[in-house]
Structure 1
Amino acid sequence: MHTVELLFDAALETSVRDLWQRLHAAGLRSLAAHTHATNRPHLTLVTTGRLPALPPLGLPVPVSLGPAALLGRTLVREVTAGPSLRRLQSAVWGAVVPANPLHSPDRWTPHVSLALNLPAAQHAAALELLRELPPAHGELVTGRSYDTESRTVTDL
C-alpha cells in the first residue's frame, strides 16, 4: 500500500512534535514513541495499491491546525482544509485507484495524527491535556509517498 502525504513547514512540524512529547511526558500514548526514521507529522491525502503519476501538487498550500479530537481510537489535531487543499486532495483522489473510501473527497477528514490506538482509558486525559490549543497557521510544503510494505519513503 502507498500513501500520498503532504508535509508541514518546519514551524508546524515542530508544533506537532511538541504535542507528541507533551502527551508522552504525561504518560499517554503518543507518536513520540514511534521512532522509525520515516515517522514525521503529515497529512494523508489518499492511500492506493500502486502509485501512478500524480497531478502537480501546487505546493505550498496554506493550512491551519485546529483543536485536538478523536477519530475512532486515533488522537488527531484537526486540519482546516481551505479550497486549494480540497481541490488538491480531489485531484489526487481522481488520479489513483483509491484504497480507502474514507479518503473520498466527500468523506475525507483532514488531520495530523498525535496518537494511534489510544486506549479508551486515556481518551479524556489526552483531550483535556490538549483542550485549549490555539490555532496554528502555516503551509504544507512538500509531498511524499510511504510504502507500507518496504517502510520506505519516496519524495513527490
Structure 2
Amino acid sequence: MPTVELVCDPRLEETVRAAWDRLAAAGLPSLARNTHPTNRPHLTMASVDRFPPGAAERLADLFDAALPLPVHLGRVEVLDGSAPLVWLVRPDPRLTALHEAVDEVLTPAGGRNPWHAPGRWIPHLSLALRFRHHDRRLARVLAGADRPSGEFVAARSYDGDTRTVSPLGAAA
C-alpha cells in the first residue's frame, strides 16, 4: 500500500526526533524505537492500494511546483483516545490546496484510506503509535511547549509491502 508523504527540513526533523528521544527516555511509546532506515518524521497525505497509471509523475509535478512549503506545528494530541500521539500541523491554504490536488490525482485508485479524504484529514507528524490518552499531559511536557515551524522540503512514497521509499519529485 503506497503512501504520499511530505518530509521536513533538517532542522524540523531534528526537533521531532528529539521529541521522540525524550518520550523513549521517559519509558513512553515513541517512534524513536523504530530503527528501520525509512523511519523519519513525515506528513502522510494519502494512502492507496496502488497508484493509478501516471499518478507518480503527476504527483511529482505537483510537488516540484509546491515545495518547499512552510509548516507550523500546533498541539501535541492523542488521536482517538488510545491511538497515535501526534504533533498537529496547523494547515494553511497552500497545504490544504496541495492535499486536495493529491486527492484528485488519486481519485481513480482503489483502497483509499478514508482518514486521508479532504474534510476528514487531520494533518500531523506522528510521535508514537498506540499511545495511552492518560499519558498525554506528560507527553506534551516532554515534546516541548514550543510550537516549532519549518518547511516541508520533499515528497516521497512509502511502500508498506516492501518497506521502501521512492521520491516524488526532484526535491526528494
Please, what TM-score do these two structures have when normalized by structure 1?
0.93
Q: Report the residue type matching 1:79 in the other structure.
A: V
Aligned residues: 155
Indicate conservation of the 8 Å contact 1:48/1:99, yes or no: yes
CA drift at 1:103: 0.7
Structure 2, unaligned stretches of length 5 or more? none
Q: Report the residue type matching 1:63 in the other structure.
A: V
Correspondent of 2:124 among 111, 116, 124: 111
Match of 2:16 in 1: 16
Indicate conservation of the 8 Å contact 1:74/1:117, yes or no: yes
Match of 1:69 in 2: 77
Matched, 1:95 2:105: yes
Equivalent residue of 1:138, what SS?
strand
Equivalent residue of 1:144, what SS?
strand
Q: Following the alignment from structure 1 to structure 2, what is the Cα–Cα distance between the partners of residues 85 and 43?
A: 11
Matched, 1:133 2:141: no
User: Structure 1 or 2: larger strand share?
Assistant: 1
Indicate conservation of the 8 Å contact 2:75/2:88, yes or no: yes
Q: Following the alignment from structure 2 to structure 1, what is the Cα–Cα distance between the partners of residues 137 and 104?
A: 38
Q: Deviations over 1:46-99 (max 9, x none)?
A: 001112233411101111011100112110001011101100000001111261
Aligned Cα RMSD in Å? Answer: 1.5
CA drift at 1:119: 3.8
Indicate conservation of the 8 Å contact 1:7/1:141, yes or no: yes
Equivalent residue of 1:129, what SS?
helix
Indicate conservation of the 8 Å contact 2:48/2:113, yes or no: yes
Please, what TM-score do these two structures have when normalized by structure 2?
0.84
Indicate the percent of aligned positions where both proteins have the same amino acid: 46
CA drift at 1:125: 3.2
CA drift at 1:102: 1.2
Matched, 1:155 2:164: no
Structure 1, unaligned stretches of length 5 or more? none
Match of 1:42 in 2: 42
CA drift at 1:120: 5.0
Q: Following the alignment from structure 2 to structure 1, what is the Cα–Cα distance between the partners of residues 119 and 147?
A: 24
Match of 1:81 in 2: 91
User: Structure 1 or 2: larger helix share?
Assistant: 2
